[in-house]
């Protein structure tokens, strides 16, 4: 009897111990999962690998611009790896502030000495972590400022298209960085679609990227809205925009390509000027394609300059596609460019659907081609459909 009780007690104790171990293991596994989720933000391994490869390509391109590739071709083949590594090292270190360069060099020298003496690695780790913390702090501060700039920039473009008789409009933009040099707009200068009011449509691309381009985009938006509000003709509007752009283009170095249009809902006639921009494509209901190419030089190149105007009628079933060069210059993992011909074929096969669905179809086609490759330029697209 006593032996049976003792055996049961031993079994119960063993089961309790097993349950505790299982409980500890589950808690440990959950902590690992929580840690991984916090680090990876819940992304799958494939997504993380795509992001890593995109970052690696972008970093290679960023530092590779400072490498003297032509000079490296003159170096004997067996010595090129060493010289290439040296060039990339200098390209990296010269991006740092002088004090941080010294800290990095001290860490490298200390690492060599520590390896020789088999000790002091801890000091090297601390120095590198300190350097990383400096760089990370700069990036976080810059990212915060760019996020604020992006929010301000979003105020300068319409969140929703205006209601237009006989037309359906949709637009989307994706900055390469936090802020963009692309600009789109659709508005009635008088503030509403009253009798006789004409809709102003515009898509523009300021040369360059990020903050400098975004600042010029903001000045273009302010100038356009101000001049259009004065009720001037389309030709006068473009001339005055060009005058302002030339005055602030650094002798033509900071120019802007743009397509500026006026649409009359009463007559369905769209008048336009193409100032050196990618030609918008008008897909007729029959499937035929027309390009809006009449105009002249980009804004900011030369003043005075006489811009030509032209007009087309947008009938029910027609689709007019505006876009920036970031669309056709997008490339995939093999370095292949999306290209104008592929873009035209996609528009030619555009199904009969709403402007929003058409925009989604176009953007998803570009995304499918690009895959996991990091975006190399701002991408903006606007669809104007006759209904």
DSSP states of 34-67: HHHHHHHTT--HHHHHHHHHHHHHHHHHHHHTTS
The answer to whether residue 174 sits within a structural domain is: yes
Same domain as 321, residue 196 = yes
The answer to whether residue 13 sits within a structural domain is: no
Same domain as 141, residue 168 = no
Scanning 200-313, the segments in alpha helix (DSSP H) are: 210-228, 234-247
Among the candidates 104, 124, 155, a domain finishes at: 155
The answer to whether residue 243 sits within a structural domain is: yes
Domain that holds residue 140: 96-155
pTM of the model: 0.66
Q: Which residues contact 174 (CB under 8 A, 6 or more apart)?
A: 326, 375, 378, 379, 380
Based on the structure, what is the number of domains in the chain? Answer: 2
Q: Which residues contact 224 (CB under 8 A, 6 or more apart)?
A: 185, 200, 202, 237, 241, 260
The answer to whether residue 347 sits within a structural domain is: yes
Among the candidates 135, 155, 175, a domain finishes at: 155
Q: Tell me if 271 sits within 8 A of 291, measured CB to CB.
A: no
Same domain as 341, residue 278 = yes
The predicted-structure confidence for 261-278, as pLDDT tens digits, reads as follows: 999 988 999 999 999 999
Q: Tell me if 318 sits within 8 A of 282, measured CB to CB.
A: yes
The answer to whether residue 22 sits within a structural domain is: no
The predicted-structure confidence for 209-260, as pLDDT tens digits, reads as follows: 666 667 778 788 888 888 988 888 999 999 999 988 888 776 666 788 999 9
The predicted-structure confidence for 132-186, as pLDDT tens digits, reads as follows: 666 656 666 666 666 666 666 666 777 888 888 889 999 988 876 655 678 889 9
Among the candidates 155, 177, 206, a domain finishes at: 155
Same domain as 243, residue 106 = no
Same domain as 140, residue 261 = no
pLDDT, residue 334, reads 80
Same domain as 253, residue 133 = no
The answer to whether residue 306 sits within a structural domain is: yes
Same domain as 180, residue 142 = no
372 or 332, greater pLDDT: 332
Q: Which residues contact 321 (CB under 8 A, 6 or more apart)?
A: 280, 281, 282, 283, 347, 362, 381, 382, 383, 384
Tally DSSP H helices, then E strands, for the chain: 11, 11
**Sequence-distant contacts of 216-223: CB under 8 A, at least 24 apart:** 216/181, 216/248, 216/254, 216/256, 217/153, 217/156, 217/180, 217/181, 217/182, 217/183, 218/153, 218/156, 219/244, 219/248, 220/183, 220/245, 220/256, 220/258, 220/299, 221/156, 221/157, 221/183, 221/185
Residues 292-315 have a mean pLDDT of 91
pLDDT, residue 119, reads 55
Local confidence band at 384 (pLDDT 50, 70, 90 cut-offs): very high
Same domain as 214, residue 326 = yes
Residues 106-120 have a mean pLDDT of 67
Same domain as 182, residue 295 = yes
Determine which of 83-92, 300-309, 310-319 has the lowest per-residue pLDDT on average: 83-92
Same domain as 320, residue 203 = yes
Percent of the chain with pLDDT over 70: 76
Local confidence band at 13 (pLDDT 50, 70, 90 cut-offs): low
284 or 96, greater pLDDT: 284
Q: Name the range with the highest mean pLDDT among 70-74, 121-125, 312-316, 367-371.
A: 312-316
Structure tokens that stand for 338 in this block: 């999306």
The answer to whether residue 382 sits within a structural domain is: yes
12 or 74, greater pLDDT: 74
pLDDT, residue 270, reads 94
CA distance 164 to 185: 14
CATH, residue 312: 3.60.40.10
Q: Which residues contact 344 (CB under 8 A, 6 or more apart)?
A: 281, 289
Structure tokens that stand for 329 in this block: 């210059």
Same domain as 371, residue 235 = yes
The answer to whether residue 204 sits within a structural domain is: yes
β-strands 295-296, 256-264 pairing: unpaired
Same domain as 301, residue 183 = yes
């Amino acid at each position: 009897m006593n032996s049976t009780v003792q055996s049961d007690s031993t079994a119960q104790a063993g089961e309790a111990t097993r349950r505790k171990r299982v409980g500890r293991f589950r808690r440990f596994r959950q902590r690992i999962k929580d840690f991984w989720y916090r680090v990876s933000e819940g992304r799958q391994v494939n997504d993380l690998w795509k992001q890593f490869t995109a970052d690696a390509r972008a970093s290679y391109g960023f530092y590779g611009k400072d490498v003297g590739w032509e000079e490296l071709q003159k170096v004997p083949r067996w010595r090129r790896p060493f010289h290439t590594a040296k060039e990339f090292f200098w390209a990296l270190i010269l991006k740092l502030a002088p004090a941080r360069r010294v800290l990095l060099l001290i860490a490298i020298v200390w690492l060599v000495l520590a390896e020789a003496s088999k000790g002091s690695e801890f000091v090297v780790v601390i120095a590198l972590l300190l350097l990383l913390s400096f760089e990370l702090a700069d990036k976080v501060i810059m990212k915060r400022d760019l996020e604020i700039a992006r929010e301000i920039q979003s105020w300068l473009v319409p969140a929703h298209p205006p209601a237009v008789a006989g037309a359906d409009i949709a637009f989307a933009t994706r900055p390469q960085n936090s802020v963009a040099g692309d600009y789109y707009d659709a508005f009635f200068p008088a503030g509403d679609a009253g009798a006789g009011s004409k809709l102003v449509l515009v898509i523009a691309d300021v040369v360059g990227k990020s903050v400098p381009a975004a600042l010029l985009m903001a000045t273009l938006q302010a100038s356009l809205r101000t001049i259009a509000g004065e009720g001037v003709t389309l030709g006068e509007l473009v001339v005055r925009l060009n005058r302002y752009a030339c005055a602030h283009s650094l002798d033509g170095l900071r120019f802007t390509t743009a397509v500026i249009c006026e649409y009359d809902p009463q007559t369905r006639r769209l008048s336009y000027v193409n100032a050196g921009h990618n030609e918008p494509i008008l897909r007729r209901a029959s499937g035929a394609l027309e390009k809006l190419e009449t105009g002249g030089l980009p804004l900011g190149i030369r003043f005075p300059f006489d811009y030509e105007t032209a007009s087309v009628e947008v009938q029910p079933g027609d689709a007019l596609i505006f876009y920036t060069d970031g669309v056709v210059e997008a490339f995939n993992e093999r370095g292949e460019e999306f290209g104008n011909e592929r873009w035209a074929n996609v528009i030619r096969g555009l199904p009969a659907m709403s402007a929003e669905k058409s925009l989604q179809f176009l953007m998803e086609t570009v995304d499918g081609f690009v895959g996991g490759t990091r975006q190399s330029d701002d991408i903006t697209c606007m669809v104007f459909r006759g209904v």
